[in-house]
Structure 1
C-alpha cells in the first residue's frame, strides 16, 4: 500500500519534470503534517501569504470561543488580513480604526491571560 511519503516523492518527480520544461513551480511541504502546497509561476509573496492566512483564519473562526487563546488568534488574523488585503493600496481611516480596535482586544485578552495563567489548558 502506498503512503503519503510515496505520493510526495512522485509529486516531487512530476514537479521536477515540469521545471525542466520551464514551468516555474514552488512546492511548500509539511509532509509530517500531511500538507503539500504548490504555487504557480504567477504567485507572489502576498498571494502565498494570503493563502497561508486562510488556514489560520479558518482555525480562528472555527475554534470554540471558550478557548483562552481564541481572541488572540482571531484579532491577529483580522489585523493580518486587513494589512494583506491593502498591501498595494492605502489603509482607510475605517481600516485603521478596526486595526486599533483589534489591538485593544489583543491587549485586553493578553491581560486576562496574564492575570490567570492557571486557566491554561493542554490540547
Structure 2
C-alpha cells in the first residue's frame, strides 16, 4: 500500500467514526479520492464532474484539435443538467442544437478522421 492509499484509508476510517453521513470514493486508476456530504445527489455529483471537464476545455483552449468538440459537448451537457428538474425553454433547445452543430462542424474537419 502506498502513501496515498494509506492516507485514503485513514480518512475513510475517520469519516466512518465521526461523520457517518458522508461518503467517499477512490478512483484507483487516477489516484483521486473524493468526499461527499450527505446531501450530494447524483445530479450534484455530475455538475461537479462537469466543472472539471469545463476547466480542461478552457485550459487547452483552441490549442488542441479536439477543443471545439469538448467545449461544445460540455456546454450542451451543462444546459441539460441545469434544466434536469425543470422544463427546457425553446432557447435552451436552440442553445443545445447550436452546441451540437459545433460538434458536427469540428468532426467534419479532416484532422479528426485520421484515427479511424
Q: Which of the five TM-score ranges fits, normalised by the shorter chain?
A: 0.7 to 0.9
Aligned to 1:75: 72
Contact map agreement 1:29 1:36 (CA 8 A) in 2: yes
Matching residue within 53, 56, 60 for 1:59: 56
Cα shift at 1:40: 1.1
TM-score (norm 1): 0.82
Gaps of 5+ in 2: none
Aligned to 2:12: 12
The 1-side partners of 2:75 and 2:47 are apart by: 12
Aligned to 2:32: 35
The 2-side partners of 1:14 and 1:5 are apart by: 14
The 1-side partners of 2:56 and 2:3 are apart by: 27
Contact map agreement 1:5 1:31 (CA 8 A) in 2: no
The 1-side partners of 2:87 and 2:59 are apart by: 30
Aligned to 2:98: 101
Gaps of 5+ in 1: none
Cα shift at 1:32: 4.6
The 2-side partners of 1:17 and 1:99 are apart by: 45
TM-score (norm 2): 0.86
Partner of 2:35, secondary structure, is strand
Count of aligned pairs between the two proteins: 113
Cα shift at 1:34: 3.1
Deviates more, 1:60-69 or 1:79-88: 60-69
